[in-house]
Every structure is written in C-alpha cells, then in structure tokens.
C-alpha cells in the first residue's frame, strides 16, 4: 500500500459529528468527487480534506466504494456509523490521497500536484479571474489552502529584515491578518537570492513557515504566534549559492525539514505542538533545493528525500534509514513524485553534465526493495526536468525540461510516447486535475494540456496583458548591487546586466579552457580537456573527432554567455512561482501578487 500523506486522513472525528449544512451543499455539488478519476488513482475527494481533525483516528482510512452522486454523500452525513465503517473497516482497495477538495495544505499538494475537482479550462486577464490582490513584501513560495483561507509567506527589506505570513479569504481576497516576525539573521533580498522560497504547511491548528533567515515559526489560524525557532543555530550561516528553497513536509504531529547546504546539513522531525526536534539525522553537505515528501510505503510512514545524488527513505517516526539509491546527478531542485508504488525522480541536466546524466531521471518501484535498495523500474533516455517536478496523469509521466520540451512517457515502462515543445518557461510544477495538466509559465501564460498518449492543447490563457503587466504598488526591488534598487518597468524587461562570475560567460571561459592546450597546436585532446567537460564531449565536439578545437570551444562559451545574458531582467516580477488547486479554483502566486481563477 502506497499513499502520499499529509493530514487528509484525519477526518473521521468530524465525519461522525456530521457535516455543517453550508458544506453539505458544497459537497453535494461535487458528489462525483468520490468516483475513480481518469488517472486511475482513487481519491476520497471532498470529505476527508474538508473535515480534518488533528486526531488521527483512522490511520488506514481507505475507501473501497465509489460514490458518484449526492446520495452517497448524504448517506455518509446521515449515518456516522456507516462513515466510520467505510473509512476504517472495509477491505483496503483504493488510496485516500493527501490534499483533497478545498485543501492544498503543503508544497505540490502533498507531493502529487493533483487537484480533485474540475478546474477552469479558459480564462483571460478580463474574465474568469475571481480576484487578485497585492501581497506585502516579496515571496517565491507557493500558496497553500485550508478550508476557506489561502496562506502565503513573504520577506521585506533589503536584508529580509521582516518575515511575513499572510491569510486571505479564499472567496473574496480580503486580507484577514498578517503576522510579522523580525528576522533573526539578515539575508540578501534581490533577484540573485531566494526570497521566502520554502512553501509553508497548514493544518487545523496553525500555519508553519520556514524562512531563509533561519526562522521557523508556528502561527495559529487567527495569526497569533504559537512558537518560533532559529534553525540556523544548528547549521551556521546558510551556504547555498542562491539561498534556501526546500519546503516543509508534514504528517499529523510533525514537520519535516531537509536542510542541505555547504555547512552542517541535516533532516529533522519537529513537533508541531512545541517546535522541538524529535529526531535529527545528518545529511551530506550539498547545495540542494528539493523538498521531501511523506508517504506510506508497505504500511510504514516514510519520509522520502531526493537530493545530493541519492534518493533515500526514512522511517518518519524515528529517522531510521530504510532504503537508499545512490549514483544520481542533478537531483537538487525537482522533488520526488509518488504514483502508486512508483516513485518518479526528476533531475536537472547540469551545465556541464555528462551525456549519461540524463538517466538520473528515473522511476523506482518501491514494492521491490532488496538489500536496502529499491528496484529501478526504468531510466529516462531523453526526458529531464529543470525546475518543475515530474507529474503523473492517466498512466503517463510528464517531464518538462529547460528548453520547454514536454516529454510524455508510459509510467510503467518509461517508453517515450511523445515530445512536444510548449511556449514559455515554467518554474512551477504543473497541476493535474480531471484529465488535464495545467502548465503555468513565468510570464502568466497557462497551457492546458489533455492527459493521455496524444498531445492536445486544450487552451492557452493569460493572467495579465503582456504589454501592461501588473507592477508592485508598494514593493521596492533591490538590485543586489551595493546600495542599488530598481523598479519594475515591464515584463522581464530592462534592468541591470548580469554580473560576470568566476568561470562565467564570454572570453574568460574560453581562455581558461584553451590554457589547457599544452602543446600549443590549437586543439585539446585527452588530458588537455578539462575533466568537467570530458563527460559532455559528445555534445560539444561537433565534428566528432574526439577533440576540441578553437571553434568548438568558442561556440560553447558563446552559448554559455547567451544563456546568462539579461539574467537579472529575466528574474523581474511578475513571475509565476507557485500554484495550488482548491475545489474548482486555481490559486496563482507571483512575487508580489495573488490571483484566484474560477468562481
């Protein structure tokens, strides 16, 4: 039995009490939510997520029946005993997923990125958008949803002097409250660094948020502080290039934080009630931004981490190592995705990766773990990830690479079904819902793709007019230069030029490579070729002679420089950083603004 977890299966106490009348009508309209969706994974849709309890009364809450109309919902409402039997006693058949209707309580909806209702297919800047609101500060975390509220995190100040948690009414967009924590340690706030990038989690008791300043806070659902903790006391100053990005995971009682950087690194379980660590295990020091997931595997609640060249499963109750797979590359940003007994691992292709590194994008069969190592069901030949994690829909796995090429693979065999380029860069992981995939691009465009073996684009929608994008009303961007700041003059336009970096673009790189020409013949071969380039020679040796001549080196350096040109401008808001699904609505977050699509 495999299932992603958060807190959706803690529902039986509220079910037994009966549902409030205002929610019965809401559930009745979505009665089909109890059916088997097109991706073949059964979900107990609205009930468990709408009516959670922090008391885990039914740890094995599995639904063996399919309710396709309001009658099934009414039966559960009017007969609490039937509800308890349905959720707890009958034979295990279908999986109860983590974040269901009106609930998206953590990053990627618990790790699967699946919505459970029919989401809007068409909208524009002039229609179909319920509301949009400016946020206080700047943030790159995804929004989360609990009941009738949406929560976001942000930072303010050139050194992230303030950490913010905000709560907005999901129906109207009205601001309910803002909690402000003065940061324990300053951290640069500019386009070169992550800003409030870790996505928070929420449950019945509160919102839990981690910031790059080292601050971990718990706030109740009225915006009052429960506890605060400085995580950096155990790590020292974070050494992670562009900052911290790993999001929290959760189960009923604990938060899970995987913090990997150039200094002391660890994975820890933190009590939600007190903020104290229950257990901590060391991790290899590496620069990683991927997030862990919580899943039940073979009856054991596990914490799964993909980063630093390995994928590892830990016992969530005590941190014991259960299994591990090593030998991966580039799995520092995409997070793992569970689909039944299969675990999809996404990996980026590093700038100077070897030709075989693409095979770090793979699929593990967690039903076959031998000698502490999971069986590799398949490895990708061409499909890779960049920022977005892989998703699964209708028996197919989807990987989106840096060149915006979407790879559709058979999830069981890894066979490539199709490859299709889509317009626009996507940093957010797509949402899967009702046989459709929603790819939100940085520039506010969304491509709605039909799940299945044939590429079919159902719609392309825009959140804003590209000629007049929404600019921050109050937020002032900081450039990253000493004393510098700038405004937002348009969609990813203008701004400073990227600062040269060591080993960076242009002649500097080419000159350093050519310096390895020991015999001065203008050609590099054998040991003259820098080690970091030997694995990728098949992609830069255009005449296939096994050597690198001056033209090939210059072409590579030029390509490198072009990819970094205007990096500051390409990081200018508005940028879509994260998305969530709640019932029949989509919540989209840019650095400074929140959008809700659908009524």
> 561 Cβ partners below 8 Å, 6+ apart?
504, 505, 506, 509
Whether residue 491 has pLDDT greater than 60: no
Percent of the chain, pLDDT > 90?
A: 49
**Given this model, what pLDDT does residue 540 score?**
77
**Given this model, what pLDDT does residue 538 score?**
64
Per-residue pLDDT tens over the stretch 513-560: 888 888 888 888 888 888 667 666 666 777 878 888 988 888 877 766
> Cα–Cα distance between 108 and 521 in angstroms, integer?
53
For every residue of 545-567, DSSP letters joined together read SSSEEHHHHHHHHHHHHHHHTTH
Q: Which contiguous run of DSSP H or E holds residue 595? A: strand 593-597
Whether residue 179 has pLDDT greater than 60: yes
Q: Which contiguous run of DSSP H or E holds residue 306? A: strand 300-307
- Indicate the range of 66-80, 119-133, 426-440 predicted with least confidence: 66-80
**Given this model, what pLDDT does residue 89 score?**
38
Q: What is the set of domains in the chain, with CATH numbers?
A: 2-101 (no CATH), 104-470+572-597 (2.130.10.10), 507-565 (1.10.238.10)
pLDDT, the chain, mean: 78
pLDDT band for position 292 (50/70/90)? very high
Phi, psi of 558 (to 5 degrees): -65, -45
**Given this model, what pLDDT does residue 450 score?**
98
Q: Which contiguous run of DSSP H or E holds residue 342? A: strand 342-345
Rg of the Cα trace of the chain?
A: 24
Look-up: residue for tokens 């994690």? 389
> Cα–Cα distance between 280 and 19 in angstroms, integer?
39
Per-residue pLDDT tens over the stretch 217-257: 999 999 999 999 998 877 667 666 667 889 999 999 999 99
Whether residue 19 has pLDDT greater than 80: no
Whether residue 270 has pLDDT greater than 70: yes
Whether residue 504 has pLDDT greater than 60: no
Whether residue 135 has pLDDT greater than 50: yes
- Tokens for 508? 């500097």
Whether residue 303 has pLDDT greater than 60: yes
Whether residue 454 has pLDDT greater than 70: yes
| pTM of the predicted structure, to 2 decimals | 0.73
For every residue of 225-253, DSSP letters joined together read EEEEEEGGGTT-S---TT---PPPEE-SS
> Cα–Cα distance between 125 and 436 in angstroms, integer?
21
**Given this model, what pLDDT does residue 349 score?**
74
């Amino acid at each position: 039995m495999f299932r992603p977890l958060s807190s959706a299966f803690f529902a039986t106490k509220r079910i037994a009490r009966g549902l409030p009348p205002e929610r019965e009508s809401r559930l009745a309209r979505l009665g089909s939510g109890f059916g088997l969706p097109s991706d073949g994974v059964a979900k107990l849709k609205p009930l468990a997520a709408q009516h959670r309890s922090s008391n885990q009364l039914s740890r094995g809450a599995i639904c063996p029946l399919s309710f396709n109309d309001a009658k099934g919902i009414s039966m559960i409402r009017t007969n609490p005993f039937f509800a308890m039997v349905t959720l707890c006693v009958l034979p295990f058949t279908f999986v109860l997923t983590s974040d269901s209707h009106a609930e998206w309580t953590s990053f990627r909806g618990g790790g699967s990125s699946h919505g459970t209702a029919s989401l809007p297919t068409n909208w524009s800047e002039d229609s179909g958008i319920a509301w949009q609101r400016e946020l206080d500060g700047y943030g790159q975390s995804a929004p989360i949803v609990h009941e009738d509220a949406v929560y976001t995190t942000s930072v303010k100040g050139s050194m992230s002097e303030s950490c913010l948690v905000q709560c907005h009414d999901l129906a109207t967009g009205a601001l309910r409250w803002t909690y402000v924590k003065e940061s324990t340690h300053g951290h640069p706030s500019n386009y070169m660094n992550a800003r409030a990038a870790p996505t928070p989690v929420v449950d019945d008791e509160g919102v839990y948020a981690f910031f790059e300043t080292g601050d971990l806070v718990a706030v109740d659902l009225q915006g009052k502080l429960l506890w605060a903790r400085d995580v950096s006391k155990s790590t020292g100053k974070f050494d992670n290039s562009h900052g911290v990005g790993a999001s929290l995971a959760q189960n009923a009682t604990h938060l899970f934080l995987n913090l990997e950087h150039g200094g002391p690194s660890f994975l820890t379980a933190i009590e939600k009630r007190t903020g104290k660590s229950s257990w901590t295990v060391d991790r290899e020091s590496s620069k990683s931004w991927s997030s862990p997931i919580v899943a039940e595997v073979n009856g054991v609640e596990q914490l799964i981490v993909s980063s630093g060249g390995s994928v590892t499963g830990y016992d969530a109750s005590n941190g014991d190592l259960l299994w591990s797979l090593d030998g991966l590359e580039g799995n520092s940003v995409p997070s793992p995705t569970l689909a039944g007994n299969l675990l999809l691992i996404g990996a980026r292709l590093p700038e100077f990766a070897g030709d075989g590194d693409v095979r770090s994008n793979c699929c593990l069969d967690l039903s076959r773990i031998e000698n502490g190592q999971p069986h590799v069901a398949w490895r990708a030949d061409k499909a890779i990830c960049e920022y977005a994690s892989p998703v699964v829909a209708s028996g197919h796995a989807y990987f989106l690479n840096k060149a915006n090429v979407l790879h559709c693979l058979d999830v069981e065999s890894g066979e490539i079904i199709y490859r299709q380029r889509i317009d626009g860069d996507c940093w957010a992981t797509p949402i899967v819902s009702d046989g459709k995939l929603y790819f939100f691009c940085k520039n506010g465009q969304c491509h709605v793709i039909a799940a299945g073996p044939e590429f079919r684009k159902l719609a392309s929608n825009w959140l804003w007019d590209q000629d007049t994008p929404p600019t921050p009303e109050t937020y002032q961007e900081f450039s990253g230069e000493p004393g510098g700041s700038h405004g937002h003059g348009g969609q990813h336009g203008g701004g400073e030029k990227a600062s040269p970096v060591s080993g960076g673009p242009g002649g500097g790189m080419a000159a350093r490579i050519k310096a390895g020409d020991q015999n001065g013949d203008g050609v590099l071969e054998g040991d003259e070729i820098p080690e970091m380039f030997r694995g990728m020679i098949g992609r830069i040796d255009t005449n296939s002679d096994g050597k690198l001549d001056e033209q090939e080196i210059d072409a590579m350096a030029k390509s490198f420089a072009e990819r970094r040109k205007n990096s500051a401008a390409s990081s200018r808001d508005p940028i879509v950083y994260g998305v969530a699904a709640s019932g029949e609505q989509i919540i989209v977050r840019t650095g400074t603004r929140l959008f809700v699509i659908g009524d």
